[in-house]
Amino acid sequence: MAAFGTVFMPEMAISWFDGSEWSEAEVVSSDSIQMHPGAHVLHYSSTCFEGLKAFRHEDGSIKIFRMDQNVERLAQSSQLLALPEIDKAATSRMITDIVGRFKDEVPAPPGSMYIRPTHIGTEPAIGKAAAPTATSCQYVLLSPVGDYFAGGDKALRLLLDDEGMRCSSHMGMVKSGGNYASALRPIMKARAEVQADQVLFCPNGDVQETGAANFLLIDGDEIITKALDESFLHGITRDSILTIARDLGMKVSERQLTVEELLERAAKPGCEAALSGTAAVLAPVGTLIYQGKEYDVGSGGVGSTTVKLRQTLNDIQWGKAEDKHGWLTHL
């Protein structure tokens, strides 16, 4: 089976900002995009993106999960990167129109259609290292994906890094490609040296996020996760999981979590940890690696609460449970 996110629909939606207004969205071939080699994005990383999914329900209908929140975050990222302002209504139409065009290609559960709206600076101006791009391009790619856990649900190994940071602290809440690039080398090093799956960045002992997901500690009926600030990504899956946890009567504590407290709580029987994100929804964490030592989280395996929270969210996405929060957009 092809790796996650490597298969694309043959066409995508695209729109261009010429410095004064956005063009009408078009549908074009998704295997190419024409851009000047001096485009701002290629030199100064004026780029942001989103990741969301469309799901096929039993009656054949297609629903997009929390599209409004993803569009809001794309608009926020664009603003924080000084990219031209997007038209949120037009962006939403681009998403629903291109998904509607390929609705027959949306996989049945446990698969889904991954949606990647992207906004890039296009002005050919290599002298603008300290100035924003005047022009930009917005496009929406589609990628059908299968079951993220097709190879089995396994508990991940995380290296706790209390010295480095995933990205500059004021950029954390921006979903920009540069943030992912800056985390790559620490992740590669952790994989090679201690066989970690990911790095949990904890600058100055403050537990934040991994290279590509938010971190949640589940201690009995309490979920503990860092309170929102500009230093890390405001995950929409994170918000959905916390909302579901509250619905189930769990206590949600959004506050500072230190490495010391994390290791202390993780040692308790029944404790769990997980990573939340669009691709996996909720991936279990079984081992924490810190200063050359390995620490099991609870039993070191896949926790039952993690599975329950993930299944509850999946059931809403796939139409098997009531969407009482109005998260699904109907095509």
Contacts of 43 (CB under 8 A, 6+ apart): 126, 129
118 CB-near residues (< 8 Å, 6+ apart): 47, 48, 49, 50, 138, 139, 140, 141
- Let me know if residue 288 belongs to a domain: yes
Question: Which of 102, 124, 145 is at the close of a domain?
Answer: 145
Classify residue 108: in a domain, yes or no. Answer: yes
Examine residue 274 and state whether it is found in any structural domain, yes or no: yes
Same domain, 205 and 281: yes
Tokens 């500072």, residue? 256
Q: Please report the pLDDT score of residue 148 as a whole number.
A: 82
Say whether both 288 and 245 belong to one domain.
yes
pTM of the complete model:
0.96
Whether residue 55 is found in the same domain as residue 172: no
Q: What is the pLDDT of residue 53?
A: 98
| Cα–Cα dist 65/106, whole Å | 13
* Domain count for the chain: 2
d(CA 186, CA 212): 13
Q: Examine residue 4 and state whether it is found in any structural domain, yes or no.
A: no
Give CA–CA dist 94/104, Å, rounded. Answer: 17
For position 1, what pLDDT does the model report? Answer: 63
Are residues 300 and 167 located together in one domain of the fold? yes
Whether 303 and 178 map to the same domain: the answer is: yes
* Same structural domain, 222 and 285: yes
pLDDT in tens, 6-28: 999 999 999 999 999 999 999 99
Given a contact cutoff of 8 angstroms between Cβ atoms, the answer to whether 274 and 233 are in contact is no
Domain-ending residue, one of 118, 145, 172: 145
- My answer on whether 163 and 133 are in the same domain is no
pLDDT tens digits along 270-315: 999 999 999 889 999 999 999 999 999 999 999 999 999 999 999 9
Query: Is residue 272, in this structure, part of any structural domain at all?
Result: yes
Asked if 225 and 215 touch (Cβ cutoff 8 Å), the reply is yes
Does one domain contain both 122 and 52?
yes
- Tell me if 1 is assigned to some domain: no
Q: Do 166 and 311 fall within a single domain?
A: yes
* C-alpha torsion sign, points 28, 318, 321, 248: negative
Task: CATH number of the domain at 141, please.
Answer: 3.30.470.10
The type of residue at 211 is G
Q: Which residues of the chain have pLDDT under 50?
A: none
Same domain, 243 and 275: yes
Q: Which residue among 88, 116, 145 closes a domain?
A: 145
User: Where in the sequence is the domain holding 289, given as residue range(s)?
Assistant: 156-317
Comparing C-alpha atoms, which of 12, 46, 52, 48 is closest to residue 32?
A: 12
Judge if the upstream peptide bond of residue 110 is cis by omega within 30 degrees of 0: yes
Residue 331 lies in a domain: no
Within-domain flag for 56: yes
Direct distance between the N- and C-terminal alpha carbons of the chain, in angstroms, rounded to an integer: 28
Give yes or no: residues 280 and 197 share one domain. Answer: yes
- Kindly state whether residues 130 and 161 are assigned to the same domain: no
CATH assignment at residue 169: 3.20.10.10
